[in-house]
Structure 1
Amino acid sequence: MKALTLAFALLLAAPALAEDAEIRNPLQPSPTWDDIRLSVIGTDDEPPLDAGVLLLDAPPRADNPAFVPVRITQPEGAPAITALALVIDQNPAPVAAEFTFGKALMPLDFEVRVRVDAYSDLRAIATLEDGRKVMAGRFVKASGGCAAPAGKSMDDVRKTMGEMRYRTAAGEGEDAGRDIGTLMIRHPNFSGLQRDQLTLLTIPAEFIQTLEVKQGDQPLFTMDAGISISEDPVFRFAYGAPEGAVTVHAQDTEGRVWDKSF
């Protein structure tokens, strides 16, 4: 329970990171991004930075490289996003996750925690309803996040894997009139670069690969993820709440499936 409370607290504190981030950690020139841009987004054209459509906040220097909070937002009236790629240039697998979003999440206010393996640009590339792409990002100073030891023993990992918690709160400020949902899933999300602290053997990659969240029959968001989403992933999102239960469907790389209704 203490770990769960801490996880929620870390993510919910992320909005404070936005203060003067505009000055402290803008995107930096990245030869890696130049090399991978075409394979990641299907075009060699650089998506424009447009704060009137998309914003990304992340800390200039991460307190813990294995749990770096990222908040992706849109101002009121911005065009709807249909898909988004979250990219960490210097990670071993740069594409941290690819998301789709339902209309209930527009305008977007979405948070997740990621691993950052080296000083890196961290960028979100959104596809709008009309097919245009826009980008937002920050330069984050962090290192070793993908190989950081797991926070729990292997026995604890196996006992709690797949457990989920969900809570809602009323939105405030720009999110007034919407609900804020926070979903946590127990899973070690092993990156394949970590070592068992007892045997010192490398732990094979094992992580939540696909996630689908709905309310009633309305999609909220989906995720197709890689190794960079943090252990015990937490997702915080604002949404206009349709009626019906929130349902979660998750599957990991070992083929395990978990379904939960809240």
Structure 2
Amino acid sequence: MRTSVLVAVLALSASGVFAADKSVENPLIESPTWIELRDDIVGDVTLQDGTGLFTVDAPYRAFDAATVPISIIQTDTDAVITQADIVIDENPAPLAARMSFGTGMSPLKLELRVRVNTYSNIRVIAQTDQGSFMQGRYVKASGGCSAPATKDPKAALKGIGQMRLKPIANALPASGQRREAQIMIRHPNYSGFQRDQITHLFMNAHFIDRLDVYQGDDLLFTLDGGISISENPVFRFEYTDNGAPALRIRAEDTEGNVFEEMLDKGTSS
């Protein structure tokens, strides 16, 4: 049963990855909330228009507010993006994730899934040696942070921390070439706004707040996350192969649990 659920989630994730830029359909809109948040997120840093550096894609109207796909695709391949903050203006905890990237992730091409609580701008603020750049989308979604979990708490905790790596390339590339992979981590990522379907009491927040992904000893990316990262997090990304046979994934959650796996890069299935 666990395997079938994993396969279903991975297949769903693959269906919407790295979609084309649709900025004309849902660009960022004026946001009084962002005016209040801005100093807490970036301080007095000047935010430059990120249009020439990268694109952000997210649906104008989300199919499922609890699993909204966001893809970030770097278009200026001469630049190096070292960090990206993902901000969902109207969420209870607006800073959804702060990610740092190793050189193997450049140029950046990444997708992850988030919860969106109400109609909101989703912003990506990228750091390079040329400064900070912002791009984003306005997404119509509702109730993502309080949406019921897909499993009851006991069932969800049975497989907690299970990981799977799905290579995407059709053939194993040589060292130094770009390749694509998808990581899925089984974790309920409870937001603290969901109710137990039996007791109807609020469930305690319990989520992955740190993720580190390496190939061999080389860092690919880290994530400091919060309640806005979806249940059973999925990350799809491109990276430059360094010849190491496996990816090493280490995740920590707010209960102090540590999950660590060495996952063979393998070939696509």
Q: Check whether TM > 0.5.
A: yes
Kept in 2: contact 1:14–1:70 (CA 8 A):
no
Paired position in structure 2 for 1:207: 207
1:247–1:261 CA contact under 8 A, matched in 2: yes
Q: Are 1:144 and 2:143 an aligned pair?
A: yes
Q: Secondary structure at the match of 1:158?
A: helix
What amino acid is aligned across from residue 228 of structure 2 in structure 1? S
Is the alpha carbon distance of 1:16 and 1:185 closer, same or farther for their aligned partners in structure 2, counting shifts above 3 Å? closer
1:93 aligns with 2:93: yes
Secondary structure class of the residue paired with 1:14: coil
Give the equivalent residue in structure 2 for 1:8.
10
Query: For 2:161 and 2:17, how far apart are their aligned partners in 1?
Result: 27
CA distance in 2, matches of 1:22, 1:113: 19
Q: CA 1:96–1:16 in 2, change beyond 3 Å: closer, same or farther?
A: closer
Q: CA-to-partner distance for each residue in 1:82-134, whole Å, 9 max, x for gaps?
A: 1110000000000001000011111100000000000000010011034x000
Q: Tell me how far apart the structure 2 counterparts of residues 76 and 82 of structure 1 sit (CA, whole Å).
A: 14
Question: Percent of aligned pairs with the same residue?
Answer: 45
Q: Offset of 1:76 from its aligned partner?
A: 5.0
- Deviation per residue, 1:144-163 (Å, 9 max, x gap): 00000000121211110000
Indicate conservation of the 8 Å contact 1:53/1:78, yes or no. Answer: no
How far does residue 212 in structure 1 lie from its aligned partner after superposition? 0.3
Residue 243 of structure 1: how far off its partner (Å): 1.9
Checking the alignment, whether the CA contact within 8 Å between 1:71 and 1:112 is kept in structure 2 is yes
Question: Which segments of 5 or more consecutive residues in structure 1 lack a partner in the other structure?
Answer: none
Check whether the contact 1:66–1:114 (CA below 8 A) recurs between aligned residues. yes
For 1:129, the equivalent position in structure 2 comes to 129
Which structure carries more helix by proportion?
A: 1
Q: Which residue of 1 aligns with 2:189?
A: 189
CA distance, structure 2, for counterparts of residue 116 and residue 205 of structure 1 = 16
Change beyond 3 A, Cα 1:78–1:51: farther
- AA aligned opposite 2:258: V
Deviation of residue 16 (structure 1)? 6.4
CA distance in 2, matches of 1:194, 1:33: 25
Give structure 2 stretches of 5+ with no counterpart: 172-176, 264-269
Distance 1:171 1:78, change over 3 A: farther
Which runs of structure 2 are paired with 1:1-40 in the superposition (5 Å)?
Answer: 1-15=3-17, 17-18=19-20, 21-40=22-41
1:9 alignment partner, SS class: helix
* Equivalent position of 2:254 in the other structure: 253
Q: Assess if the C-alpha contact under 8 Å between 1:102 and 1:219 holds in 2.
A: yes
Q: Following the alignment from structure 2 to structure 1, what is the Cα–Cα distance between the partners of residues 57 and 132?
A: 19
User: TM-score w.r.t. structure 2 length?
Assistant: 0.91
Offset of residue 49 of structure 1:
2.1
RMSD across aligned positions (CA): 1.6
Q: How far apart are residue 12 of structure 1 and its match?
A: 1.9
Residue equivalent to 2:178: 178
**C-alpha displacement at 1:51, in angstroms?**
2.1
How many residue pairs get aligned? The number is: 255
